[in-house]
Amino acid sequence: MTSTQGQPHVTMDEITALAKRRGFIFQSSEIYGGIGGFFDYGPLGAILKRNVKDAWWREIVELRDDVVGFDSAIIMHPNTWVASGHVAQFHDRLVDCKNCRHRFRADHLPSLEKCPDCGMRDTLTAPRNFNLMMQTSIGPMEDSAARAYLRPETAQGIFVNFKNIYQSARKKPPFGIAQIGKSFRNEITPGNLTFRVREFEQAELEFFVPDDGNDLAWYEQWVSARKRWYSDYGVNEDRLRFYELTPQERPHYAKAGIDVEYLFPWGWGELESIAHRGTYDLQAHMQLSGKDLTFFDEAGKAKYTPILIESSAGMDRTALTMLIDAYRSETIVDAETRKETNRVVLGFHPKIAPVQVGVFPLARNKPELVERAKRIERELRPHARTQYDEGNVGQLYRRQDEIGTPFCVMVDYQSLDDGSVTVRDRDSMRQDRIDATQLRAYLAERL
């Protein structure tokens, strides 16, 4: 896919290089040559992804009284995946080039006549079904009876536990169950850093509503809530779209569906899908397990199968979006010398930024400055994500800009005299001199 809105503001090569240089994302098992479709999060990346997950959890679970949290096992009874349709239908159509031996997903190719990599005609095989579920075996015997799957989505853990959850949490529809956890898919063509990987994290909300005519209104409400979430965390609205699926594009049982897409450097890519899934999922498990997963409505004295509204977001894709969206490269002019320099900034929202406040001494060979700066950093630590650093001042600011730290506190000689420090704002580069005792309040207001 190509960008439909002009040149991308950053290339994937630039993002990949920065992600490695600053410790956001590394290729998994790099010393052995890496392994396709798996990535590790470095010290800053681990915090970035945790912040994204916490922001989702806070909004979806903690700030509501109609959603409960959940955490199910990665490996489930194999029948789960029979009922859900994954054993029979979770396929991609795989195509090989007989000349260059590259593999493609048939639905990603403009035509099956020509190989997009080597350009040869009539070298692509006919598409074959390839099941994306990863298999493992349980116990000492590796026969088919021991076969199990690493879950390809987290949602099924919620469906099979529906009764346990609503009974123990004393909830009745409309209410939701949310979970964040790892999923695995044997993707044919992993790529674009952590966009398409074989091991990833999903954040899924399954919201169950009664069949009282308000189901589509609930669906709309969740679409709006998710729009608000992306906007609250500063994702550029020009690079975000909510693509409404046509009836042909959505499953036969779904009444409505939207893909939330971001304009990545290579084009639009899905971050999340929001869907009205009817009663399909609970019905499928009731049918195969023979167990009752309906809800008994005390008031109406009747059982019914609730309708499901689902939001399923990829946390790796969202963290990658935050990284790409925050990136900007700008020319700055020194006020005194008029000299132009370039700086790379990650303009993260303060709640997403891995480091919120950097604290440095003006000179690292002056013990009084070092000690004061370290003390200030320690005192701020319970209140913000802080980092003490020392070295060349220009390089310190450059590094903090590049990892997206919203504020930097500098301890200089004046600090020793009057207890003041300077606070530099990442975006405006303005420096305020304030009393160190006011730092906590100053930062709390801005973070």
- CA dihedral sign, ordered 42, 47, 48, 52: positive
8 A C-beta contact, residue 321 and residue 271? yes
Binding residues for ligand ATP restricted to 216-275, rule: CB under 6 A: 270-273
Using omega within 30 degrees of 0 as the cis cutoff, is the peptide bond preceding 350 cis?
A: no
Residue 33 backbone class (left: φ over 0; alpha: ψ -120 to 50; beta: rest): left
Distances (CA, A) of 42 to 49, 315, 332: 10, 16, 29
Closest contact distance (angstroms) between CB of 312 and ligand ATP is 4
Closest contact distance (angstroms) between CB of 313 and ligand ATP is 6
CB nearer to ligand ATP: give 197 or 235: 197
Contacts with ligand ATP, 160-189, as mask; x by CB under 6 A: -------------------------x-x--
Q: State which residue has the least CB distance to ligand ATP.
A: 314
Cα gap 414→419, rounded to integer Å:
7
Using omega within 30 degrees of 0 as the cis cutoff, is the peptide bond preceding 174 cis?
A: yes
β-partners of residue 309 are: 207, 276
CB nearer to ligand ATP: give 26 or 442: 26
CB nearer to ligand ATP: give 133 or 197: 197
Closest contact distance (angstroms) between CB of 190 and ligand ATP is 7
CB nearer to ligand ATP: give 270 or 390: 270
Token pair belonging to 214: 């308000």
8 A C-beta contact, residue 146 and residue 113? no
Q: Under DSSP, is residue 401 helix (H, G, I), strand (E, B) or coil?
A: helix
- How big is the site for ligand ATP, counted in residues (CB under 6 A)? 15
Cα gap 375→419, rounded to integer Å:
12
- Regarding 280 and contact with ligand ATP (CB under 6 A), the answer is no
Per CB under 6 A, the segment of 39-47, 195-203, 210-218, 423-431 that binds ligand ATP is 195-203
Sole residue written with tokens 């399954």: 206
Token pair belonging to 374: 């370290």
CB nearer to ligand ATP: give 183 or 405: 183
Closest contact distance (angstroms) between CB of 277 and ligand ATP is 11
8 A C-beta contact, residue 204 and residue 153? yes
Q: Under DSSP, is residue 368 helix (H, G, I), strand (E, B) or coil?
A: helix
DSSP assignment letter at 428: T
User: How many CB atoms sit inside 10 A of residue 1's CB?
Assistant: 10
When binding is defined by CB under 6 A, the residue of 51, 80, 131, 202 that contacts ligand ATP is 202
CB nearer to ligand ATP: give 317 or 426: 317
- The amino acid present at 126, given as its one-letter code, is A
Q: Under DSSP, is residue 104 helix (H, G, I), strand (E, B) or coil?
A: strand
Closest contact distance (angstroms) between CB of 251 and ligand ATP is 11
When binding is defined by CB under 6 A, the residue of 197, 258, 322, 436 that contacts ligand ATP is 197
Which of 289, 222, 223, 215 lies closest to 253, judged by CA? Answer: 215
Closest contact distance (angstroms) between CB of 421 and ligand ATP is 42
Sole residue written with tokens 């079904």: 129
DSSP assignment letter at 323: H
Contacts with ligand ATP, 304-333, as mask; x by CB under 6 A: --------xxx-xx----------------
CB nearer to ligand ATP: give 22 or 317: 317
Closest contact distance (angstroms) between CB of 318 and ligand ATP is 7
Closest contact distance (angstroms) between CB of 185 and ligand ATP is 5
When binding is defined by CB under 6 A, the residue of 49, 196, 276, 426 that contacts ligand ATP is 196
8 A C-beta contact, residue 16 and residue 30? no
CB nearer to ligand ATP: give 173 or 314: 314
Per CB under 6 A, the segment of 4-12, 196-204, 293-301, 432-440 that binds ligand ATP is 196-204
Closest contact distance (angstroms) between CB of 1 and ligand ATP is 11
Cα gap 386→245, rounded to integer Å:
43
Give the rounded distance of the alpha carbon of 137 from its chain centre.
Answer: 29
Closest contact distance (angstroms) between CB of 316 and ligand ATP is 5
CB nearer to ligand ATP: give 197 or 240: 197
Closest contact distance (angstroms) between CB of 197 and ligand ATP is 4
CB nearer to ligand ATP: give 255 or 381: 255
β-partners of residue 96 are: 103
Q: Give the interface with ligand ATP as residue ranges (CB under 6 A).
A: 185, 187, 196-197, 200, 202, 270-273, 312-314, 316-317
